[in-house]
Amino acid sequence: MHVLICGGAGYIGSHMARFLVARSVSVTTLDNLSTGHREAVQGGELVEADLLDPASIERALGGRRFDAAMHFCARSLVGESVSQPYAYYANNVSGTLNLLEAMRRHGIGKLVFSSTAAVFGQPERERIDEDHPKAPINPYGASKLMVERILADASSAYGLRSVALRYFNAAGASDDACIGESHQPETHLIPNVLRAALGTGPALKVFGDDYPTPDGTCVRDYVHVDDLAQAHQLALDYMDRHDGAHAFNLGNGKGFSVREVIDAAKAATGREIRYEVAPRRPGDPAVLVASSEKARRELGWVPAHTDLAPIIESAWRWHQTQSY
Ligand code: UFG
């Protein structure tokens, strides 16, 4: 088994590659290193290529045989997608089309695609299942939903088998603290809270405390990055049994507020975490919590980290190894 991991130098892709290598699956990472990290590629070959440059994809695929591909390359910041929509549609949609076309030429008939909770837009119910209306409210979510549609069309036209996995809030780091979440600039809550605990980041800002939630701060469903990796491997098995284009929501089904994350981080680190309340961040829904019953039932997904504490503890072990 040989899997092409597009975006394998990034946060989720690099954990995926290690996860598969640890289970004796061969992997090759394709990455343009625009936001990924060379040192995060730990196992398998790294081929530098850019999905916006079809010739470089051709060079990456030429001479190698792959049984399946996983596609983690994307621009993924909601706010940035609002101010730079062309960049988001170019990277996330055109780049994916280039990959799909190359996969067709090279006879790669299976794809696991990184999708997002942002395809749903404003939640209409407490737990978001796969049947929830898809009405993205920003270009990031719209670009991912467009790809889901393209994958359905590719299934009808070319017989491509695909699974779109809609992550809620990916978090945590590898259990051996070798790789973790590192973005520049960092916008995600848990890394920012832990940098504040280390004293290496700016003072933490809590974006809004007047939401209609129990403590006024936003509620999210945090899911460990290695549990996401497990779901991807199960998706590979699923595509052996099922043709067509499929989608699953991935979260733990439990919401935690920003204040609860700060409290859990205080407990995990034993440090004081200073923060100030700032205005709401545009585009943030008050509550985003997944129903992942379908993934549990049909993929057989059993996340190992179902509570917030172990997720933050794993992130903390990795953050302490970093010299920011
Ligand atoms: N937050 C802060 N301070 C920070 C960073 C974040 O208060 O320094 C808050 C945010 O306002 C939000 C929560 O913490 O309420 C979580 O924010 P993140 O940036 O960590 O994650 P998001 O919920 O914004 O992002 C996730 C996924 C995206 C997806 C989005 C859909 O990472 O891929 O949900 O809304 F698009």
Mean pLDDT of the chain: 96
Amino acid, res. 281: R
The distance between the two most distant Cα atoms of the chain, rounded to a whole number of Å, is 56
Average pLDDT value for residue range 247-252: 98
Please determine, for residue 201, whether its predicted confidence score (pLDDT) is greater than 80. Answer: no
CB of 127 sitting under 6 A from ligand 1:
no
Residue nearest ligand 1's atom 35 by CA: 118
The number of CA neighbours under 13 Å toward the Cβ of 254 is 12
pLDDT of residue 84: 95
**Start-to-end CA span in the chain (Å):** 37
The full set of domain ranges for the chain reads 2-171+223-250, 189-221+253-319
Query: According to the CATH classification, is domain 2-171+223-250 in 3.40.50.720?
Result: yes
CB of 209 sitting under 6 A from ligand 1:
no
pLDDT of residue 142: 97
Average pLDDT value for residue range 156-162: 98
CA pair distance 167, 223, nearest whole angstrom: 8
Average pLDDT value for residue range 178-207: 91
pLDDT of residue 324: 60
How many A from CA of 169 to the centre of ligand 1?
8
Please determine, for residue 202, whether its predicted confidence score (pLDDT) is greater than 80. Answer: no
Q: Relative to the CA of 283, which ligand 1 atom is closest?
A: 35
Non-local CB neighbours of 84 within 8 Å, separated by 6+ positions: none
pLDDT band at 300 (very low <50, low <70, confident <90, very high): very high
Average pLDDT value for residue range 215-233: 98
Q: In the CATH hierarchy, which fold is given to the domain comprising 189-221+253-319?
A: UDP-galactose 4-epimerase; domain 1 (3.90.25)
Give pLDDT tens digits for 39-75: 999 989 999 999 999 999 999 999 899 999 999 999 9
- The catalytic residues are 140
Residue nearest ligand 1's atom 16 by CA: 189
CB of 188 sitting under 6 A from ligand 1:
yes
Sheet of strand 256-257: strand arrangement: 256-257, 219-220, 287-288
Do domains 2-171+223-250 and 189-221+253-319 share one topology? The answer is: no
pLDDT band at 100 (very low <50, low <70, confident <90, very high): very high
Phi, psi (rounded to 5 degrees) for 296: -65, -45
The CA–CA distances, whole Å, from 276 to 11, 104, 208, 210 equal 27, 51, 10, 14
How many A from CA of 4 to the centre of ligand 1?
29
Q: Which DSSP letter does residue 62 get?
A: T
CB of 205 sitting under 6 A from ligand 1:
yes
Q: Relative to the CA of 281, which ligand 1 atom is closest?
A: 11
How many A from CA of 150 to the centre of ligand 1?
27
CB of 281 sitting under 6 A from ligand 1:
yes
